[in-house]
Amino acid sequence: MTRTLRGDTLSRLSAEVFGLVAGIGAGLLTARWLGPSGKGIYASLTLLASLAVQGSVLGLGESLIVLTADGKRQLRAAFSTTLTAVLVSSALGGALALLAARWQFGSDWERVALPALIMAVGVPVSVLTQTVSLALNAVGQVRESSHANIVTIAVTTATLAAALVAFEFGVPGALAAGVLGSIVGAAYAGRRLGRRVSWRLAVDKDYLRSALRFGVVLQLSALFMMAAARADLLLVLNLLGSAEAGFYSVALTVGLTTTMASNALAYASFPRVAGADSSAAGAEVHRLTRLTSAFALVMAGGLAVVQPILIPFLFGRDFQPAVVPAVVLLIGGVPAATQWVLCRLAAARSHPGIAVASFSSSLVVMLLLDLVLIPTLGLAGAAVASGLSSLVGLLLAVVLLGRTPTLRMGLLDVVPRMSDFAALAAVAKSVVGGWRLRRGN
């Protein structure tokens, strides 16, 4: 792993960890200061906002990275078109989210109208922040985009605490905190991006058609991935009840930590792989995929050992039933992490359809296995179904990549070698050494 990629990955991993910690804090704040009813309204509106944002970004940020990586398209003009498109799509997405909130809350609309309006305003702001951050990646500033993410999270969390605890602004204040955080994050990223792009609103129809063909497919894969990671919770709720769903939600939170490093590596390496020469791209994808598998194995093994102690300590002894599914999900997170990185890197080489096929197959397999394994094995069955579905999706991605002319992926190319573990050890040693040096100074 090169020094630049290592630094970019660690920066993104820091943002992922910071977001996880801040998310736990925000969950505690909203639960305590909003109460059950307010928490329910807040959760419903933030879910609507998340869906609207996911539907509005259209994958155009990633398209910007891939389609300008070869230098054939000018970044300035491409960004101008991207900015215009996402502002229009996100305005429409915010309006649709507002209409959905109006339909969902019905007779309670008078109480929810102001929070829903704030939620709708936040959709284009959040989409803008994501787009500008990805534009930073397109110019090789992955660390700056990670910093922008940290700034967004920090401002949102601090404002949320002030709005709820100090000023008692309730649900409107909690939602406004997210809007303010996104505004500050967008301003930070925009300042770092500066004059490298054109901020003038314009549309290059040829570029937009190409960007949408690529981006919409990639965004569809992200939606399938989100569903494959969380949809089994709804089946647990329906088949086993709310208490078991509570245990499984904790297990899912723990299990997904295996994929945090892979998310960071996929984010940091995406522009690098997109701009690589065709002759070198295959070897780079193979190497990064094996590194992901090695890292996921180390994380899963280390975290699985401590779960019998850690979960009861953090969540209380009542959550002991979450231990077994959490351990199974950690192990199943190894193919899931590898699947995510491999599919993202394939998309960086203009193969976004592989991600759609891989994650849609994982979703279908998981749901079918859940219907059989949850009634018979309970929470452990849901966890086993999740891991097996990720393995199926990974194998399908490998098979499909094996048919591409430049990547030529085989089953052994996802299996880590001793050199990959040695590379991880070198990275860990470098990080620890840097930390000790800064501490000494």
Q: Taking the CA atoms of the chain, what radius of gyration do you get in angstroms?
A: 22
Task: For residues 115 and 74, state if they share a domain.
Answer: yes
Which amino acid, residue 275?
A: G
Which of 30-44, 111-125, 220-234, 291-305 has the lowest average pLDDT? 30-44
Place of tokens 């999706």: 393
pLDDT greater than 90 at residue 247 = no
- Categorize the per-residue pLDDT at 176 as very low, low, confident or very high, splitting at 50, 70 and 90: very high
pLDDT in tens, 32-47: 787 767 777 777 788 7
Domain-terminating residue out of 169, 203, 237: 203
Query: At residue 250, does pLDDT exceed 70?
Result: yes
- Same domain? 168 vs 276: no
pLDDT above 70 (res 192): yes
**Cα 188 to Cα 155, 157, 163, distances in angstroms:** 12, 17, 22
Q: Using CA atoms, how far apart are residues 3 and 13, in angstroms rounded to an integer?
A: 15
Cα-based torsion angle of the residue sequence 247, 253, 257, 258 in order, rounded to the nearest 10 degrees: 50
Position 426 in a domain: yes
Same domain, yes or no, for 55 and 199?
yes
For the chain, what is the domain count? 2
Q: What pLDDT score was predicted for residue 75?
A: 84
Which two three-digit tokens encode residue 241? 């009840």
Contacts of residue 397, Cβ cutoff 8 Å, sequence gap at least 6:
339, 342, 343, 346, 354, 355, 357, 358, 409
Q: pLDDT over 90 for what percent of the chain?
A: 37
pLDDT at 254 over 70: yes
pLDDT of residue 346: 86
Query: Which pLDDT band, with edges at 50, 70 and 90, does 266 fall under?
Result: confident
| 305 and 424, same domain (yes or no) | yes
pLDDT computed for residue 189 by the predictor: 93
Question: Higher confidence at residue 266 or residue 335?
Answer: 335
How does residue 414 score in pLDDT terms, banded at 50, 70 and 90?
confident
For residue 211, is it within any domain?
no
Alpha-carbon gap, residue 318 to 236, rounded angstroms = 18
Tokens encoding 20: 């996880």
Q: Which of 179, 203, 227 is the last residue of a domain?
A: 203
273 and 125 fall within a common domain: no
Q: Same domain, yes or no, for 228 and 149?
A: no
Whether residue 439 lies inside any domain: the answer is no
Domain hosting residue 115, numbered range: 1-203
Lowest mean pLDDT among 45-49, 135-139, 339-343: 45-49
pLDDT tens profile 427-441? 667 655 555 555 555
pLDDT in the model for residue 108: 79
Range among 17-21, 59-63, 181-185 rated most confident: 181-185
Indicate whether 438 belongs to any domain.
no
For residues 303 and 369, state if they share a domain: yes
Same domain, 196 and 265: no
Residue 50: pLDDT band (50, 70, 90) is confident
317 plus 410 within the same structural domain: yes
Cα separation, 163 vs 440, whole angstroms = 39
**Confidence (pTM):** 0.75
Contacts of 139 (CB under 8 A, 6+ apart): 75, 193, 196
209 within a domain of the structure (yes/no): no
Task: State whether 424 and 322 are in the same domain.
Answer: yes
First to last CA, the chain: 27
Q: Is residue 226 part of a domain?
A: yes
Q: Are 154 and 175 in contact (CB under 8 A)?
A: no
Highest mean pLDDT among 66-70, 92-96, 134-138, 314-318: 92-96
In-domain check, residue 295: yes
pLDDT surpassing 90 at residue 99: yes
Domain-ending residue, one of 160, 176, 203: 203
Are 188 and 271 within one domain? Answer: no
Decide if 230 is inside a domain.
yes
167 token code pair: 């000023």
Q: Provide the mean pLDDT of the chain.
A: 85
Q: Are residues 199 and 232 in the same domain?
A: no
